[in-house]
A and B are shown apart, each in its own frame.
Chain A
Amino acid sequence: MRPFMNIIRKWFSQVPTMSLLFGALVAVLLERGLGDPLAEILGLPKVPVLFGFVTMLKKPMLIPSTILYVFLVFVGPISVVAGLSASIANRLLDKLLNFPMLFSVIIHLGLLYAILHLWSEASAYRLLMLKLTLIAIMVTLSLNVINGYMGEFSCSHPGFMALGAYATSVMTVFLFAKDRLFGPPILPPVLGPFMFPFALFVGGMVAALGAVFIAIPSFRTRGDYLAIISLAFMFIVKSLIENLEVVGGPRGLSSQPDYANLPTVFLWTVACVWIINNFVRSILGKALNAVRDDETAADAMTVDTRRTKIVAFMFAAFWAGVAGGLFAHVLRYVNPGTFGIQKLAEVLAMVYFGGLNSVYGSIVGAVSISVLGEALRPLEIYKWIIIPLLLILVMIFRPTGLIAFKAFNVRGLISPKHKPLGDI
């Protein structure tokens, strides 16, 4: 087993990210062209939507053909193409080293977007799920800023999301949509898509203002007490919205215009990851770690701990608010019930499953919990036994999460990988 693993590892050590992206691109194109006939030949009712998890759990008889399908369409082509294109990709990346890094980053993101776009075009379900996963990444990462990087246990994130979702929705619905609550649009709806980023920004800012109410108590208390305060904040926001008949009360607010298409969600997610990653690697961002590990020492070493805390809370809340705004526009409906204790549990699970203090961890956590949640849907009630059990296992074997305390190294991710000198 071990020599086999070594061969795989050695082989992968020369494959740059770019050729993996090439492989994935070929795989999604292959599915687009040959998916239907292949599914028919293998006796599957339709193309497996989510890598066959749902099909396999529903009809165990189809397990062999589903695995074969996934292998023929995804695993096989990705490995083969990635392997074959490795040397070409490495040469291309060598050339790209002469240009600014941004150029190479854009090419990688372009490839990634193309893959996601082609993959999600196959069904509305995939598209919805992809958007929600991207939003989950934003929420998880922003909560990680508080709970991971700064080490406070904050439970107010669904509250921030709700503030963002409602602020953004009220703006877009009031200005650009015909609605039973707000009547006809005030501005011509043509302007809407241009104003949407602005509306999201406002949503984020509203959430950030809400965060001040958590940040100020955090000057004097931390740990359990702050957790309770932030939990209270979440419930206050929820009941506030439930009692505000202007925005629909418990029935919620609907008829948001369809602005949150895949490119928009993708770009905001990329911006969120990029900005948060930039921040946590700067000295101003590392100050969060100093406050977490020893606040007295941080203060004595000239770190303005109050400013650090308030910035961290407002910054994290801003991104939660933006994510909330996108969330409301993806579903085109929002109600206060969504932002309750269940949402909180979901987000916390993503953060702690993926790993504290780590951008990779948040991405892995958000994607895996979202995918698991959907993939295990046929198990119905047992889903809520399996996912928590998994979480408990992770906490036993890796108490800080799967990929904790690991810096997100963009340069390493996009650089060419040449043959390792000497055998390993």
Chain B
Amino acid sequence: MALLQIEKMTHEFGGLRAVQDYELEMEAGQVRGLIGPNGAGKTTIFDLITGIHKPTKGKIIFDGKDVVGLQPHQIASMGLGRTFQNLRLWRHMTALEHVKMACYSKITYGLVEAFLGSSRRSREEAEIEKKAYGLLNLVGVGHMAEQIALNLPYGGQRRVEMARALATDPKILLLDEPTAGMNPEELVQMMEIIRRVHEELGLAIFLIEHRLRVVMELCEIIQTLEFGEVIAEGTAEEIQNNPRVIDAYLGRESVA
């Protein structure tokens, strides 16, 4: 069975059908892409998978367990890490604290130990700190660990967010437009990081993107979404030559 299997997932916001009969089968270690015009429902799909919204209908089976109706933090601790389109960094925290925070579910010390400052607490927090530095170095912002994350340049903030998502020890990493708003140089670096994360940590990656170049280069299989429905699924070439995809992106040629 696939690592993440989604069957007939449908979601309605009031009367608006945002996602209809969405299906997905994702194996461990796979890199997949999800493209589509603005408002097609890509981010909604991520929100449904990670439990921020509960689907109106359908099944989401991750790692053999049905995750529909679980709290987002429960789903995240099972191994579904994500980043956000609009970053969602914490305003007053340093880069290091961001990554440490995402290790929340791995803490085994209890409240009383947090109150009194036991040796187990200091040991665990030291381990987490070490891990956090490792991840920050992996994405290339280790030297800025002590700075408030929002004071970093935009590319740096994206990397901190990536490190934060990695700290949850995901099996699948959901990246919501990881290159949005980046200049060409930052874009190349970000693609390099995604590749590195995939190779070094062996993660499955599910990617929402607007820039076709990124998806085409990184992803094995690409889904195209329009008005909440998958209109095409296949490899980069298949997608590129699919007439419905071209229509969705460039508009239908009017019959004169």
Interface residues of A (CB under 8 A from B): 275, 278-279, 282-287, 289-290, 293-294, 296-306, 311, 357, 405
Q: Which residues of A contact B167 (CB under 8 A)?
A: 301
Instruction: Tell me which of B50, B93, B125 contacts A290 (CB under 8 A).
Output: B93
Q: Which residues of A contact B52 (CB under 8 A)?
A: 296, 299-300
Alpha-carbon separation in the docked complex, A305 to B105 (Å):
11
Q: Are B91's CB and A290's CB within 8 A?
A: no
B78 to chain A, nearest CB (A): 9
Q: Which residues of B contact A299 (CB under 8 A)?
A: 52, 71-73, 76
Chain A to chain B: the 9 pairs with minimum beta-carbon distance, closest first:
A293-B90, A302-B105, A297-B88, A299-B72, A301-B102, A282-B114, A302-B77, A302-B76, A293-B91
Alpha-carbon separation in the docked complex, A303 to B164 (Å):
12
Q: Which residues of B contact A285 (CB under 8 A)?
A: 114
Instruction: Tell me which of A279, A293, A298, A357 contacts B114 (CB under 8 A).
Output: A279
Alpha-carbon separation in the docked complex, A302 to B168 (Å):
7
Q: Are B89's CB and A283's CB within 8 A?
A: no
* Band of interface residues on B: 35 or more
Instruction: Tell me which of B72, B82, B92, B117 contacts A293 (CB under 8 A).
Output: B92
Alpha-carbon separation in the docked complex, A287 to B84 (Å):
19
Q: Are A284's CB and B73's CB within 8 A?
A: no
Q: Which residue of chain B is the closest to A278 with respect to CB atoms?
A: B117
Q: Which residue of chain B is the closest to A280 with respect to CB atoms?
A: B114
Decide if B97 is an interface residue (CB 8 Å cutoff): yes
Q: Are A283's CB and B116's CB within 8 A?
A: no
Alpha-carbon separation in the docked complex, A300 to B75 (Å):
8
In the complex, the number of residue pairs spanning A and B with C-beta atoms less than 8 Å apart equals 98
A407 to chain B, nearest CB (A): 11
Q: Which residue of chain A is the closest to B83 with respect to CB atoms?
A: A300
B103 to chain A, nearest CB (A): 7
Alpha-carbon separation in the docked complex, A294 to B168 (Å):
17
Quick one: which of A289, A298, A301, A357 has the most chain B CB within 10 A? A301
Given A275-B115, A278-B116, A284-B107, A301:B100 Cβ within 8 A: no
Decide if B121 is an interface residue (CB 8 Å cutoff): yes
Instruction: Tell me which of B82, B92, B128 contacts A283 (CB under 8 A).
Output: B128
CB under 8 Å from chain A, chain B span 99-118: 100-105, 107, 111, 114-117
Alpha-carbon separation in the docked complex, A405 to B92 (Å):
8
Q: Told that A283-B103, A283-B128, A296-B88 touch, could you supply 20 new A-B pairs with CB distance under 8 A?
A: A275-B115, A275-B116, A278-B115, A283-B107, A284-B107, A284-B114, A287-B104, A294-B90, A296-B52, A298-B90, A299-B73, A300-B52, A300-B73, A300-B76, A301-B164, A303-B101, A303-B104, A304-B71, A306-B71, A311-B111
Q: Which residue of chain B is the closest to A305 with respect to CB atoms?
A: B73
Q: Are B92's CB and A304's CB within 8 A?
A: no
Interface residues of B (CB under 8 A from A): 50, 52, 71-73, 76-77, 82, 84, 88-93, 97, 100-105, 107, 111, 114-117, 121, 125, 128, 164-165, 167-168
A312 to chain B, nearest CB (A): 11
Q: Are A304's CB and B73's CB within 8 A?
A: yes
Q: Are B121's CB and A282's CB within 8 A?
A: yes
B86 to chain A, nearest CB (A): 10
Q: Which residue of chain A is the closest to B77 with respect to CB atoms?
A: A302
Instruction: Tell me which of A283, A306, A311, A357 contacts B101 (CB under 8 A).
Output: A283
A401 to chain B, nearest CB (A): 14
Alpha-carbon separation in the docked complex, A423 to B93 (Å):
32
Alpha-carbon separation in the docked complex, A240 to B104 (Å):
40
Q: Are B114's CB and A287's CB within 8 A?
A: no
Q: Which residue of chain B is the closest to A306 with respect to CB atoms?
A: B71
Alpha-carbon separation in the docked complex, A290 to B72 (Å):
15
Q: Are B168's CB and A293's CB within 8 A?
A: no
Q: Which residue of chain B is the closest to A284 with respect to CB atoms?
A: B114
Q: Which residue of chain A is the closest to B46 with respect to CB atoms?
A: A300
Given A287-B104, A302-B105, A278:B73 Cβ within 8 A: no
Alpha-carbon separation in the docked complex, A303 to B88 (Å):
14
Q: Which residues of B contact A311 (CB under 8 A)?
A: 111
CB<8 Å pairs between A and B, sample of 5 = A283-B103, A287-B104, A289-B92, A299-B72, A405-B92
Q: Are A289's CB and B90's CB within 8 A?
A: yes
Alpha-carbon separation in the docked complex, A405 to B148 (Å):
12
Q: Which residues of B contact A304 (CB under 8 A)?
A: 71, 73, 104-105
Q: Are A301's CB and B92's CB within 8 A?
A: no
Q: Which residue of chain A is the closest to B80 with respect to CB atoms?
A: A300
